[in-house]
Amino acid sequence: MNSEKWMWMTVSLLLTALIAAIVVVGIKEGASASQGTADATQSSGAANETSSGAPGTPGDEGSPTPQVQEPKIDLNNIPEGPYGDAVKEGLKLMNETNTLLPDYVGNKLSCSSCHGNGGLDGTSPYVGVAAAFPQYISRSGKVLTLEDRINGCMLRSMNGKAIPYNSDEMRAMVSYLTYISEGVPVGTKDRPWIQKNRVEAYKNMPEPPSLVEAEALYQQACAACHGQDGQGTGPMSGPALWGPDSFNLGAGMARIGTAAGYIKRNMPIGQMGGIQQGELTDEQATMLAAYILSHDRPDFPGKVNDWPNGDAPDDAAYLTKIDLEQGLTLDNVPWYKAYAERAVEAAKKAK
Ligand code: HEC
Ligand code: HEC
């Protein structure tokens, strides 16, 4: 064999090996891409109170993810018998939480103060939620069950105590949430009918919005139901937005982008002060969220332990242990990070 032949043989062998390697890597990539889809969907679910809530990536070309249908829920058709009774009790607990559970709720809100109409209307819906848990929640850095998630809102949004897992109240709440999830396949993380309450206009604002302008808008479009002083007129007519009877610093609503998203989509209810529901701009909703969160509210002990893996969102309402370890302070972060914590700290100093 002459040296030229040798060279060609070597080159073609190398080429064959290279092609084989590309094919193997290609197959592996394909497999992990479909897994990646599952992961992405999951983390968008886990994003609930923790990030921008980007929608899950679509399935890879070969196998499009089937669209899950939104179940039609009929509260007039709750079955008779013990299961139906638990479902009905659960619904009642959602709507009258503060009056029915005074030992556990620490403010004047009900679950339906944020999850309107038992979580069935568009405000902050939980249709299908029982199919989406257990789920990894980055704020806790662990997989939470539905009961854990309910208690997350009990401790923070309701400024209260955990409902015991082995209690009729918890069983009733889980029964209700399961009833309004019937027909949604277990393991569904991405529910197309759930829209996250997020407005991220704050990211483009170098300075905090003017609170003077915000207060005028609040008095015009919000105060009639929520009170001039934000103390509310009732959990179902206009819940407390700040002060001792509102959600605490640890709640998802204490994040400016979440509050702005909620306000833009849902408030004012109907029409108020010449402003129709759905008419507020992103900037107005952000301004109102900033105004609401510029007031004092209950603190949340243990908040520094949230997002233990250092993946707190940029509008987290407070600094975490990891932030502090990295040298972040209330003075050297963008205005929208720990915005609500600054208000609570200022109120503590003023006392
Ligand atoms: C002050 C407002 C507020 C109140 C009151 C409140 N929540 Fe929530 N809740 C939220 C926010 C914000 C989220 C995150 C939703 C999102 O990602 O858009 C949430 C999420 C949830 C979830 C997870 C939903 C999902 O699709 O992953 C459950 C379950 C839940 N809440 C149950 C409750 C229950 C039960 C109560 C009453 C005990 C309650 N919440 C009271 C604001 C509130
Ligand atoms: C016509 C009465 C009405 C008006 C006006 C109104 N709200 Fe509400 N708001 C409610 C009710 C009732 C709820 C409870 C949720 C539901 O039923 O949908 C609520 C819930 C809320 C919540 C979540 C619960 C909480 O305590 O944090 C926020 C935030 C909020 N409103 C902000 C606003 C802002 C900002 C405006 C002005 C743009 C406004 N609302 C105008 C009646 C009203």
pLDDT digits (tens, 9 = 90+) for 288-325: 999 999 999 999 999 999 999 999 999 999 999 999 99
- CATH number for the domain that contains residue 143: 1.10.760.10
Question: What is the number of the ligand closest to the CA of 95?
Answer: 1
* Residue 330, domain member (yes or no): yes
Do 212 and 170 share a structural domain?
no
Q: Can you give the pLDDT at residue 120?
A: 94
Mapped onto helix, strand or coil, the DSSP state of residue 143 is strand
Q: Which of 179, 213, 243 represents a domain boundary (last residue)?
A: 179
Res. 193: pLDDT tops 70: yes
Do 309 and 229 share a structural domain?
yes
pTM of the model: 0.85
* Residue 191, domain member (yes or no): no
State if residue 125 touches ligand 2 by the CB under 6 angstroms criterion: no
Do 233 and 315 share a structural domain?
yes
Q: Which of 41-45, 104-108, 233-237, 251-255 shows the lowest per-residue confidence on average (mean pLDDT)?
A: 41-45
Q: Can you give the pLDDT at residue 8?
A: 62
Going from the Cα of 288 to the center of ligand 2, the distance in angstroms, rounded, reads 11
Q: Which of 179, 210, 245 represents a domain boundary (last residue)?
A: 179
Do 117 and 230 share a structural domain?
no
Do 207 and 94 share a structural domain?
no
pLDDT, tens only, 138-188: 999 999 999 999 999 999 999 999 999 999 999 999 999 999 999 999 999
Mean pLDDT over residues 94-107, rounded? 98
Res. 6: pLDDT tops 80: no
Q: Can you give the pLDDT at residue 107?
A: 98
State if residue 266 touches ligand 1 by the CB under 6 angstroms criterion: no
Res. 79: pLDDT tops 60: yes
* Residue 305, domain member (yes or no): yes
Ligand 1 atom at minimal distance to the Cα of residue 113: 5
Angle at 55 between CA 202 and CA 59, to 5 degrees: 155
Res. 21: pLDDT tops 60: no
Going from the Cα of 68 to the center of ligand 1, the distance in angstroms, rounded, reads 22
Strands (E), the chain: 135-137, 142-144, 271-272, 275-276
**Cα Rg for the chain, rounded, in angstroms?**
25
Going from the Cα of 251 to the center of ligand 1, the distance in angstroms, rounded, reads 9
Mean pLDDT over residues 199-204, rounded? 98
Beta bridge partners of 275: 272
pLDDT band at residue 57 using 50, 70 and 90 as cut-offs: very low
Do 163 and 232 share a structural domain?
no
State if residue 247 touches ligand 1 by the CB under 6 angstroms criterion: yes
Query: How far apart, in whole angstroms, are the C-alpha atoms of residue 241 and residue 347?
Result: 16
Beta bridge partners of 234: 238
* Residue 170, domain member (yes or no): yes
* Residue 38, domain member (yes or no): no
* Residue 292, domain member (yes or no): yes
Do 227 and 121 share a structural domain?
no
Res. 17: pLDDT tops 90: no
Ligand 2 atom at minimal distance to the Cα of residue 236: 12
Residue of 115, 190, 267 best suited for mutating to test ligand 1, as the one with most atoms within 8 Å of CB: 115
Ligand 2 atom at minimal distance to the Cα of residue 239: 26
Do 243 and 168 share a structural domain?
no
Q: What is the mean pLDDT of the chain?
A: 87
| More confident of the two residues 247 and 7 | 247
pLDDT band at residue 114 using 50, 70 and 90 as cut-offs: very high
Q: Can you give the pLDDT at residue 5?
A: 61
Cα-flanking dihedrals φ and ψ of residue 114, to 5°? -120, -40
Q: Which of 179, 211, 246 represents a domain boundary (last residue)?
A: 179
**Helix residue ranges, H only, 47-141:** 82-95, 97-100, 116-119, 129-132
Query: How far apart, in whole angstroms, are the C-alpha atoms of residue 218 and residue 51?
Result: 27
Res. 128: pLDDT tops 60: yes
Ligand 1 atom at minimal distance to the Cα of residue 194: 26
Do 264 and 168 share a structural domain?
no
Q: Which domain holds residue 272?
A: 201-350
> Which residue owns the Cα nearest ligand 2 atom 9?
238
Question: 232-238: long-range contacts at Cβ-Cβ below 8 A with a sequence spacing of 24 or more?
Answer: 232/108, 234/108, 235/96, 235/97, 235/98, 235/108, 235/109, 235/110, 235/112, 235/113, 236/95, 236/110, 236/112, 236/113
C-alpha distances in Å from residue 153, one per residue of 73, 247, 250, 266, 323: 23, 9, 9, 20, 23
Q: Can you give the pLDDT at residue 67?
A: 78
Res. 268: pLDDT tops 70: yes
Residue of 95, 112, 113, 279 best suited for mutating to test ligand 2, as the one with most atoms within 8 Å of CB: 113
Query: How far apart, in whole angstroms, are the C-alpha atoms of residue 225 and residue 233?
Result: 6
Mapped onto helix, strand or coil, the DSSP state of residue 272 is strand
State if residue 173 touches ligand 1 by the CB under 6 angstroms criterion: yes
Do 237 and 133 share a structural domain?
no
Res. 22: pLDDT tops 70: no
Query: What is the share, in percent, of the chain residues with pLDDT greater than 70?
Result: 81
pLDDT band at residue 9 using 50, 70 and 90 as cut-offs: low
Residue carrying the six token digits 């242990």: 321
Query: How far apart, in whole angstroms, are the C-alpha atoms of residue 341 and residue 249?
Result: 7
pLDDT band at residue 196 using 50, 70 and 90 as cut-offs: confident
* Residue 5, domain member (yes or no): no
Q: Which of 9-18, 181-190, 220-229, 316-325 shows the lowest per-residue confidence on average (mean pLDDT)?
A: 9-18
Res. 66: pLDDT tops 80: no
Going from the Cα of 258 to the center of ligand 2, the distance in angstroms, rounded, reads 14
C-alpha distances in Å from residue 212, one per residue of 199, 265, 288: 21, 23, 11
Residues 6+ apart with CB under 8 A from 94: 110, 111, 112, 115, 118, 119, 173, 176
Q: Which of 67-81, 220-234, 298-312 shows the lowest per-residue confidence on average (mean pLDDT)?
A: 67-81
* Residue 47, domain member (yes or no): no
Query: How far apart, in whole angstroms, are the C-alpha atoms of residue 293 and residue 342?
Result: 9
Total domains, the chain: 2
Q: Can you give the pLDDT at residue 123?
A: 87
Tokens of 277: 């529901």
| More confident of the two residues 59 and 295 | 295
| More confident of the two residues 190 and 96 | 96
CB count, 10 Å around CB of 292? 25
Do 326 and 211 share a structural domain?
yes
| More confident of the two residues 249 and 8 | 249
Do 217 and 175 share a structural domain?
no
Q: Can you give the pLDDT at residue 122?
A: 84
Residue 98: what residue type? N
